[in-house]
């Protein structure tokens, strides 16, 4: 009996020892886990994940931050797109306090809208722990067409002070949203030349007048929108003010003639190639057009014109104009006398004819016969006119040219020859 009691007592002691050892082992494991995983006495819900900024465009780089992660004991530490095991965006390394911060790039092909980013420790292991947070991918902005560059032009690009020109704007001038629209001389703060209004396409045209006081040379014309406001915008263009030409002159040679006769118009001091059209009128500006002319670079021109067949005898005006019909029309006039046509009286058959027109022999031949042809006619008058205008350097028979014996070869000699050839003068000299 005593022996049996002894056996039962020993068995109970062994059980107690085993239970005690088990409890001690469990305590040791718990302490070990606490030492190995500090701060992990609660569930994984303490992990946090955030982004800065919380939304951005696909392909942009953002900062991911986490807290509550195990320090250096549960690798790998990875960041995924959308779900655990998705596209890897990067890795991270918690500091001893369990915090971390890493730059990650949002996938370039990510669609706009809400997505998930997931951070995991121990990925693929027995102690895998993850946390996710939302991230919004923004829709790309709608491309706004770049407005055409503004341009400013001036036509013509040169002219005299006081000239009227056209300023033209093309391109991205704002329509009705950025007034006032103004044009200045020299600079944005200069003399106001005018205003303009852009059309629906951003283009415009405006007439402006070059200041009368402008000095010859290069200047600037400046067109601005939003003058005086926060969105003032200007463009400029060059304009050259031409030096004023010498005083205009006009000479008609010969200064008289019969209806239908051809005379020469010689002008000087006209603007070269900057103020067309250039026209010659009968009696007044805007009258019958006798012809056109083109000044050379010195402002000189020489043109042949025809006296109208219907012209009445007497004094008339020949008028040469530049800029006809424009704002800078300028004219010069000269007198011309239309001669009366000679009256033809029939000579009776039995009546002796009157004396014929004669030309006195000159020092070298017939007076007025400057081409040495043996006769005096309109060709001689034309040669004298060209010589007097400087278009001919010499005459074939210059000794016969001074028909009025005044010591000069001039348009007067040509006029006398024409009248002699037309039968209006009976002899030379008259």
CA distance 70 to 115: 26
User: Backbone phi, then psi, for 315, in 5-degree steps?
Assistant: -80, 135
Last residue of a domain, one of 275, 309, 338: 338
What are the Cα distances from residue 9, in Å, to 2, 16, 19?
A: 11, 11, 16
Q: What is the pLDDT of residue 8?
A: 47
Residue-level pLDDT at 216: 92
404 in the same domain as 321: no
Q: Above pLDDT 90, what percent of the chain?
A: 42
Domain of residue 270, CATH code: 2.60.40.1930
Query: Which pLDDT belongs to residue 42?
Result: 38
pLDDT score for 148: 63
Residue 44 has pLDDT above 50, yes or no: no
Check residue 421 and give its pLDDT.
87
Residue 30 lies in a domain: no
User: Does 25 score more than 60 pLDDT?
Assistant: no
Q: Look at residue 292 and tell me if it is in a domain.
A: yes
pLDDT band at 349 (very low <50, low <70, confident <90, very high): very low
Query: Based on the domain organization, do 305 and 233 belong to the same domain?
Result: no
pLDDT per position as a tens digit, 366-381: 888 988 888 899 898 9
Residue 274, token pair as written in the block? 């900057």
| Lowest mean per-residue pLDDT among 68-72, 249-253, 321-325 | 321-325
Range list of β-strands (E), 269-390 = 278-282, 288-292, 301-306, 314-322, 330-338, 358-359, 361-362, 365-366
What is the domain extent for residue 163? 151-242
Using one digit for the tens of pLDDT, what is the confidence trace for 105-123?
Answer: 999 999 999 999 999 988 6
Question: What is the mean predicted confidence (pLDDT) over 238-255?
Answer: 85
Q: Among residues 117, 116, 119, 118, which one has the least CA distance to residue 93?
A: 119
Residue 28 banded pLDDT, cuts 50, 70, 90: low
Judge if 237 and 255 occupy the same domain.
no
Q: Are 235 and 261 in the same domain? A: no
Lowest-confidence region among 186-195, 363-372, 402-411:
363-372
Which pLDDT band, with edges at 50, 70 and 90, does 343 fall under?
low
Confidence check: pLDDT of 325 > 90 = no
CATH number for the domain that contains residue 416: 1.10.1330.10
Number of independent structural domains in the chain = 4
* Structure tokens, 323: 């800029």
Q: What is the mean pLDDT of the chain?
A: 82
């Amino acid at each position: 009996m005593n022996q049996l009691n002894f056996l039962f007592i020993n068995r109970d002691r062994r059980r107690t020892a085993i239970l005690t050892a088990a409890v001690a082992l469990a305590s040791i494991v718990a302490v070990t886990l606490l030492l190995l995983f500090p701060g992990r006495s609660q569930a994984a819900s303490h992990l946090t994940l955030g982004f800065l900024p919380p939304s951005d465009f696909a392909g942009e780089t953002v900062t991911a931050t986490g807290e509550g992660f195990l320090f250096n004991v549960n690798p790998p530490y990875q960041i995924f797109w959308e779900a655990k095991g998705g596209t890897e965006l990067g890795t991270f390394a918690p500091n001893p306090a369990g915090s971390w911060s890493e730059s990650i790039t949002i996938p370039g092909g990510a669609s706009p809208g809400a997505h998930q980013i997931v951070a995991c420790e121990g990925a693929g292991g027995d102690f895998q722990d993850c946390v996710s947070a939302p991230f919004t991918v923004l829709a790309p902005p709608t491309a706004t067409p770049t407005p055409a560059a503004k341009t400013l032009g001036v036509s013509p690009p040169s002219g005299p002070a006081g000239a009227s020109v056209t300023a033209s704007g093309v391109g991205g001038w704002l329509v009705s949203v950025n007034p006032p629209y103004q044009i200045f001389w020299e600079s944005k703060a200069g003399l106001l030349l005018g205003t303009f209004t852009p059309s629906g396409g951003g283009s415009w045209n405006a007439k402006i007048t070059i200041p009368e006081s402008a000095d010859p040379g290069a200047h600037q014309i400046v067109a601005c929108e939003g003058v005086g406001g926060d969105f003032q915008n200007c463009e400029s263009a060059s304009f050259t003010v031409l030096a004023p030409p010498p005083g205009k002159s006009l000479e008609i040679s010969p200064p008289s003639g019969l209806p239908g006769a051809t005379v020469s118009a010689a002008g000087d001091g006209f603007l070269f190639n900057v103020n067309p059209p250039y026209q010659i009128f009968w009696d007044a500006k805007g009258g019958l057009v006798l012809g056109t002319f083109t000044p050379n670079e010195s402002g000189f021109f020489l043109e042949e014109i025809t006296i109208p067949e219907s012209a009445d005898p007497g004094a008339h005006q020949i008028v040469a104009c530049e800029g006809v019909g424009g704002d800078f029309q300028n004219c010069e006039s000269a007198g011309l006398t239309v001669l009366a046509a000679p009256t033809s009286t029939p000579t009776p058959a039995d009546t002796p004819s009157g004396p014929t027109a004669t030309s006195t022999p000159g020092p070298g031949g017939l007076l007025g016969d400057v081409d040495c042809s043996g006769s005096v006619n309109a060709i001689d008058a034309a040669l004298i006119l060209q010589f007097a205008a400087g278009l001919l350097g010499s005459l074939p028979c210059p000794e016969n040219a001074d028909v009025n014996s005044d010591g000069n070869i001039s348009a007067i000699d040509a006029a006398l020859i024409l009248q002699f050839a037309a039968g209006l003068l009976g002899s030379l000299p008259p």
